[in-house]
Amino acid sequence: MTTPLLIEPRSSTLTAGLLVRRSLPNARQRSVGPFVFFDHFGPIELPPSADSDVGPHPHIGLATVTYLLEGEMVHRDSLGTVQPISPGDINWMTAGSGIVHSERTPEPLRGRSRRLHGLQLWVALPPDQEDAAPSFQHAGVGTLPQWRHDGAAVRVLIGSAYGLVSPVRAASPTLYLDVQLAAGASLSLPPTEELAVYAPAQRLTVNGSDVPAATLAVIPRGEAATVSADEAARCVVIGGAPLAQPVSMWWNFVSTDPRKIEAAARRWNDNTFAAIPGETGRVEMPPWRPRHTETRGE
């Protein structure tokens, strides 16, 4: 088995000391399956005074996928959705032609110390779905199928694996698993065109190679993969069919056509995106620069 490609994320610190690690896009690996963005935030104990809200901001051409390991958030969007998310739930928001959303602290937790730890991923929509009407899906932890075998517990968040199918409707062949391994356990991962493994807090062994915590291990395309752990560990597995064609990314926008990104930037600057009912404020766009990160689907 070939050694996986190890991607050490870029780290930045946001408000209240919230650490964010970004593994995708990376100069060495722009995407894994349809996933073009991989952020790991926390873990952190936020003080009562901390403001961890992310105010209204727009997206086009992608689906955001939010998964919490600790804490709670409330999603609101311009469709009128108001959806709390707790650990083990999945939020899949299809931006399509354009959506605005916010992520805020639930009112009962304001002014209190609270934990926050989770993953925010983006999926590039297929070219024929980039301009689809926006939509939102929430799948509670109790609706996501689980499989257990020889010290491994797998929750199927998106896609199908081990004979189980997630209720989340993906835009293209997509795999997203939450895997927990007992000490000494190993797991053969389902065959997938493109595949990567990420453990937020523990060391893993992937195809015989040591993988430090908070490191994305990308499996060579088409190869089988086995993950194991000397000590109890938790990881996520992402993958699926590669991108149909390269996409461009700028700020919160993704598209196969850079002109759509420029048009979305003008729309946000001109305040013509649909508003979130009952929300105020907005996240200001950085200065427009017509240079895009190209994410290849080769």
Residue 88: predicted pLDDT:
97
Q: How far apart are CA 236 and CA 201, in angstroms?
A: 11
**What pLDDT, on a 0 to 100 scale, did the predictor assign at position 298?**
42
Residue 25: cis peptide before it, omega within 30 degrees of 0: yes
Q: How far is CA 161 from CA 132, 172, 177, 190, 198, in A?
A: 27, 15, 8, 6, 17
8 Å CB contact between 239 and 223: no
The CA-to-CA distance between both ends of the chain, in Å, stands at 21
Residue 259's pLDDT is what?
A: 95
pLDDT tens digit at each of 298 positions of the chain: 679 999 999 999 876 778 999 999 999 999 999 999 999 999 999 999 888 899 999 999 999 999 999 999 999 999 999 999 999 999 999 999 999 999 999 999 999 999 999 999 999 999 999 999 999 999 999 999 999 999 999 999 999 999 999 999 999 999 999 999 999 999 999 999 999 999 999 999 999 999 999 999 999 998 999 999 999 999 999 999 999 999 999 999 999 999 999 999 999 999 999 999 999 899 999 998 765 566 654 4
Beta strands per DSSP E along 131-219: 135-139, 146-149, 152-158, 160-161, 164-165, 174-181, 186-188, 194-198, 204-206, 209-211, 216-219
Name the strand (E) or helix (H) holding 16.
none
Domain ranges of the chain: 7-240
220 by Cβ neighbours in 10 Å (0-12 / 13-18 / 19+) ranks as middle
Return the structure tokens found at 178.
């939450």
How many CA atoms lie within 13 Å of 153's alpha carbon, on the beta-carbon side?
7
Q: In the chain, which residue ranges form alpha helices assigned H by DSSP?
A: 258-269
Q: Two tokens at 109?
A: 């937790």
In this prediction, residue 146 carries a pLDDT of 98
Report the CATH fold assignment for 7-240. Answer: Jelly Rolls (2.60.120)
Query: What is the pLDDT at residue 43?
Result: 95
